[in-house]
């Protein structure tokens, strides 16, 4: 049985402050590091031995991956970083508190910005210092490919070529792969793998640092998917993520 584990990064500083983060490169909190370590322990307890790992260009995902691999004593495996695994770009919402934004625009509008399939927030301006075209890490990426804002649909269109052409084909020769990324980039992959409808995807909320395992047969057909951990605790964590965008 071949397996791919999808893992959202541990709690970041802006997760803790309930801000829209997107492509802003914030760090993990001490709790986030602890969560990453717990994920590594779960994976170790289940006997996972990854042959390769993938992550984004953002430090909260990179550091989560490093902690997990350290817990597994697998720091030596090949790691590939790619900007296509970055979080959904939240445009000019980036940095704003989600609850305060809901107070201003309403819970329903914030839910649409956070979880809908094809509605993107307002883009950041071309001269905004947060614009990815000003960052050295994206210097080799054509400017017309760098987002100023994204819907989930846009995020999926960015990610899927990398998933289909790079990550998934490696299952032909590898038995276990690890992908550490972000809430929305992983929601896009899950939507594709499970054929979730555009409407139903709004209800999928991924908690931080809870391993999500997909199993495939030798013909690479999906067979089974499940979270590692206590189901009741995972449900509470998912509900907490869903409530982040509501008025206090």
* Cα atoms found within 13 Å of the Cα of residue 156, Cβ hemisphere only: 20
Active site residue 9: yes
* Longest alpha-carbon distance in the chain: 51
**Of these residues, 41, 46, 51, 87, which one is catalytic?**
87
Instruction: Please name the residue that has the structure tokens 């999926």.
Output: 156
Q: Is 182 left (phi over 0), alpha (psi -120 to 50) or beta?
A: beta
> Does the CA dihedral 35-36-41-47 come out positive or negative?
positive
**CB atoms near residue 220 (< 10 Å):** 12
**Of these residues, 9, 89, 150, 182, which one is catalytic?**
9
Three state DSSP letters for 195-215 = CCCCCHHHHCCCCCCCCEEEE
For 18-87, the DSSP string reads TB--TT--PPBPHHHHHHHHHHHHHHHHTT---SEEEE-SSHHHHHHHHHHHHHHT-TTS-EEE-GGGSP
User: C-alpha distances in angstroms, 4 versus 61, 103, 130, 190, 192?
Assistant: 17, 39, 33, 11, 14
Three-class SS state of 139: coil
Question: Which of 46, 49, 48, 2 has its CA nearest to residue 168?
Answer: 2
Pairing of strands 212-216, 176-181: unpaired
Residues labelled as active-site residues: 9, 87
């Amino acid at each position: 049985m071949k397996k791919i584990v999808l893992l959202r990064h541990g709690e970041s500083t802006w997760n803790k402050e309930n801000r829209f983060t997107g492509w802003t490169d914030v760090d993990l909190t001490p709790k986030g590091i602890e969560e990453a370590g717990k994920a590594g322990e779960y994976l170790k307890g289940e006997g996972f031995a990854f042959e390769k790992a993938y992550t984004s260009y953002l430090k909260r995902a990179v550091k989560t991956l490093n902690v997990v691999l350290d817990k597994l004593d697998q720091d030596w495996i090949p790691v590939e970083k790619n900007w296509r695994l970055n979080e959904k770009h939240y445009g000019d919402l980036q940095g704003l508190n989600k609850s305060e934004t809901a107070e201003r625009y309403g819970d329903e509008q914030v839910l649409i910005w956070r979880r809908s399939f094809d509605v993107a927030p307002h883009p950041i301006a071309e001269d905004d210092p947060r614009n990815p075209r000003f960052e050295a890490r994206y210097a080799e990426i054509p400017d017309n490919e760098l987002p100023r804002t994204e819907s989930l649909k846009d995020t999926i269109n960015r990610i899927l070529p990398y998933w289909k052409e790079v990550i998934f084909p490696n299952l032909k020769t590898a038995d276990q792969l690890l992908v550490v990324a972000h809430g929305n980039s992983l929601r896009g992959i899950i939507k594709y793998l499970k054929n979730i409808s555009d409407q139903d995807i709004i209800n999928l909320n991924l908690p931080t640092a809870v391993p999500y395992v997909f199993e495939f047969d030798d013909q690479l057909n999906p067979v089974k998917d499940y979270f590692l951990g206590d189901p009741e605790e995972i449900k509470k964590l998912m509900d907490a993520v869903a409530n982040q965008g509501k008025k206090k």
